[in-house]
């Protein structure tokens, strides 16, 4: 289970958070709650958690200062900010410190609680060093979520072991609804398309015709996309390194880090990484970052009511005007127009 700590000076807020959210459904256990940042730090020193939910303005230590100290204690800790209002400066500062989301306490009853927790759990499980806690949380959730997690990246396309794991999870999901399995794989297909925009996806079916045909469908994608990647004539190790980078960027839009940092993480020099990334994906690194960030912004505009400035910041854009311009170039709409259009169509 994901262990979480709630920090808020108002006892009614702490109680409301405990009661309103379907924590257990998403593999989260409330390990404790405190009323001050100082007490929270005492708790964290003796009770490691993976998720910290903290009020942003409290007597004594603020949520901002608590976030700083808690992440110094455990850099892998994920933080969700609780606030009474959408205060731009506070929220922006929290995002800079690495907060993964924020919740407006006065709007708790209006929130889509499932979507909010699903978003938070995905962020917690993303490449954090959770060790046994991550394994336990994945094992404890429904088969469909395990399938979604296994199919989330693209490294399985060139990695035999990961492909075997994906097929194994697929087989273990056989007891689930066939329609749900196909739906999960359709969602995964959308992520794969985003990872390789230059590939001609018309050469493979957009989804398996049935749950029973899913393994053959995955194998066909592996053959087609794998052949396309190998046309670059790079070694398997280099292709695997580039796909690791693609997965890292796709999982963390807006917090991807610099090219030098990512190239180092996959053991390639900056110049060689730049060239091989372009040759293998048929996109420059900077173009891929922009496209991935805009895709992530679209998802947030569709699934949250967060203001555009927050989404811009979350997706890696310090300048909201630059974000809006780039977003319109890629989608044909300003962010506010895109959100309104999505609401009208749904």
pLDDT above 60: residue 220: yes
pLDDT of residue 230: 96
| Residue 106, both tokens | 């006065």
Question: Which residue(s) pair with 6 in the sheet?
Answer: 33, 53
pLDDT above 60: residue 132: no
What's the rounded mean pLDDT across residues 331-342? 93
Q: What is the CA radius of gyration of the chain?
A: 21
pLDDT above 60: residue 19: yes
pLDDT of residue 137: 35
In tens, the pLDDT along 257-299 reads 678 889 999 999 999 999 999 999 999 999 999 888 898 899 8
Cα 4 to Cα 124: distance, rounded to the nearest angstrom? 11
Considering the chain, what percentage of its residues have pLDDT values greater than 70?
91
The CA–CA distances, whole Å, from 283 to 199, 201, 277, 286, 288 equal 10, 16, 7, 8, 6
In tens, the pLDDT along 68-117 reads 999 889 888 899 989 876 666 677 777 777 788 888 887 777 677 888 88
Residue 64 sits at φ, ψ, to 5 deg, of: -65, -50
94: Cα within 13 Å, side-chain hemisphere? 29
pLDDT of residue 211: 82
Torsion sign over Cα 147, 138, 64, 112: positive
What's the rounded mean pLDDT across residues 223-249? 95
pLDDT above 50: residue 20: yes
Q: Mean pLDDT across the chain, nearest whole number?
A: 86
pLDDT of residue 257: 60
Looking at per-residue pLDDT, the higher value among 180 and 80 belongs to 80
pLDDT of residue 175: 78
pLDDT of residue 141: 42
Cα 86 to Cα 106: distance, rounded to the nearest angstrom? 10
Work out the pLDDT band at 143, boundaries 50, 70, 90.
confident
Cα 224 to Cα 206: distance, rounded to the nearest angstrom? 13
Considering the chain, what percentage of its residues have pLDDT values greater than 90?
48
pLDDT above 50: residue 222: yes
Looking at per-residue pLDDT, the higher value among 200 and 114 belongs to 200
| Dihedral class, residue 72 (left if φ above 0, else alpha if ψ from -120 to 50, else beta) | alpha
pLDDT above 60: residue 22: yes
């Amino acid at each position: 289970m994901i262990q979480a700590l709630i920090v808020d000076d108002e006892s009614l807020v702490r109680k409301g958070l405990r009661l309103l959210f379907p924590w257990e459904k998403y593999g989260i256990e409330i390990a404790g709650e405190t009323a001050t940042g100082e007490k929270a730090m005492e708790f964290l020193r003796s009770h490691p958690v993976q998720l910290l939910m903290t009020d942003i303005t409290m007597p004594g230590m603020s949520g901002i200062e608590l976030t700083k100290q808690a992440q110094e204690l455990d850099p892998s800790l994920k933080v969700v900010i609780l606030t009474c209002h959408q205060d731009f400066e506070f929220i922006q500062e929290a995002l800079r410190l690495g907060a993964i989301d924020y919740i407006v306490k006065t709007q708790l009853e209006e929130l889509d609680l499932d979507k909010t927790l699903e978003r938070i759990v995905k962020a917690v499980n993303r490449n954090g060093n959770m060790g046994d806690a991550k394994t336990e949380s994945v094992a404890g959730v429904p088969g469909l979520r395990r399938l979604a997690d296994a199919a989330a990246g693209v490294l399985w396309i060139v990695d035999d072991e990961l492909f075997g794991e994906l097929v194994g999870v697929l087989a273990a999901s056989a007891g689930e609804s066939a329609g749900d399995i196909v739906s999960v794989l359709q969602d995964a297909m959308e992520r794969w398309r985003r990872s390789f925009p230059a590939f001609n996806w018309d050469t493979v079916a957009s989804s398996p015709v049935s749950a029973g045909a899913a393994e053959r469908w995955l194998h066909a994608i592996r053959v087609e996309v794998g052949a396309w990647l190998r046309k670059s004539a790079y070694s398997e190790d280099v292709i695997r390194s580039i796909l690791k980078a693609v997965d890292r960027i796709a999982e963390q839009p807006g917090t991807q880090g610099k090219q030098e940092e990512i190239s180092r993480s996959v053991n390639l020099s900056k110049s060689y990484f730049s060239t091989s990334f372009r040759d293998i994906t048929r996109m420059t690194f900077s173009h891929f970052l922009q496209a991935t960030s805009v895709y992530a912004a679209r998802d947030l505009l569709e699934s949250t009511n967060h203001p555009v400035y927050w989404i811009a910041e979350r997706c890696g854009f310090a300048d909201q005007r630059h974000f809006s311009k780039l977003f319109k170039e890629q989608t044909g709409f300003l962010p506010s127009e895109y959100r309104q259009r999505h609401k009208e169509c749904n």
